Amino acid sequence: MSERLPIADGPEVRAHAAALFQEHRRALGAVLALHGLAAVAGLAGPRLLGELVQAVKDGTSTSHIDRVVALLAGFVLAQTLLTWFARRASFVLSEEVFARLREDFMRRVLALPLSTVERAGTGDLVSRTTADVDALARTVRFAIPEVLIAAVTTVLTIAAATLVSPIASVPCIVGLPAILIGTRWYLRRAPEGYLWERAAYATMTGTVGETVDGGRTVDALSLGRRRIERIDADLADAYAAERRTLYLRTVWFPTVEIAYVLPVASALVWGGWLLSSGRASIGDVTAVALYVQLLADPVDRLISWLDEIQVGATSFARL
């Protein structure tokens, strides 16, 4: 009977992740600063458009409109350049972090006693050196940079809307309860589900590998039917694990996606009431409505990549 290799617990994973962030704190700070500047440049557009709408309502000259359009073009160009530099810095940092993780993992694998490897079987070790490394690579290279970008953009967008008009920016947080409730439910169940999924595939990989390696023995001892039954059982377990994680996603995604629709609809209704009652100007309402609409993209990316983060965190714990 094979014994699975140990899996790091939550505190150990967090401590190792914190050590990595501490080691690369300067590069991480530079990445966050670049993404922050890019987000600020992108947030100038709604503010300028709101002021332009207000100016047109009050009566303005074509020269003023030309200046606003020129400013908009300048901020768009600045955002494009800053975003390029920010993403480049993110990818460079992620490659450095992943290189460190890969080197640490290979050093520890090669230092394992042979008896430990033999007791664990080939499947567990092979799955960790292939599937788990690939999953962690995708997380470090793509998921973490995207989550950083989305988080910075979300915070700065809400701050910009609040600066325009605190009372008109209330719809920015209308969808927050749905996000918090759905995400809390998901995060409490996802780690166990993904650990089960990874372990099931490790077992299946080991069973198939052992059957192939011992093919002559299987034929000589007429063990073919028994090995087929074993593989079928492993497949059934992997299928059940996949269904479990799929169920978590099918409940979580619709719940949080409500948060994309509610703020926009609320901004239109709430802004219309504020405008009709004289509590806000049309420029403020326009700017806040645009900011609320802009929130949908970073929040969607944050939620989408959070699922990938869970897969990567599970692989990180196994590695």
Give every CB contact of residue 273 below 8 A, 6+ residues apart in sequence: none
In a domain, 94, yes or no: yes
Q: Does some domain include residue 4?
A: no
Is residue 5 included in any domain, yes or no?
A: no
How far apart, in whole angstroms, are the C-alpha atoms of residue 184 and residue 200? 25
Domain count, the chain: 1
Per-residue pLDDT tens for 143-192?
777 788 888 888 888 888 888 888 888 888 888 888 888 888 988 888 88
Of 221, 281, 270, 293, residue with least CA distance to 53: 281
Asked if pLDDT for residue 1 goes beyond 50, the answer is no
Q: 2 in a domain, yes or no?
A: no
Q: Judge contact between 311 and 125, C-beta under 8 A.
A: no
The pLDDT value given to residue 36: 82
Distance of CA 182 to the CA centre of its chain: 15
Per-residue pLDDT tens over the stretch 9-31: 777 877 877 787 788 888 888 88
Tell me the CATH number at 149. Answer: 1.20.1560.10
pTM above 0.75, yes or no: no
Render pLDDT for 200-247 as a digit per residue (tens, 0 to 9): 887 887 788 778 778 788 788 777 888 888 888 988 998 999 899 899
Owning domain of residue 272: 10-318
Position 253 scores a pLDDT of 85
Over residues 123-133, the pLDDT tens digits come to: 666 677 777 77
Within-domain flag for 3: no
pLDDT band, very low/low/confident/very high, at 121 (cuts 50, 70, 90) = low
Q: With contact defined as beta carbons under 8 Å apart, do 291 and 169 qualify?
A: yes
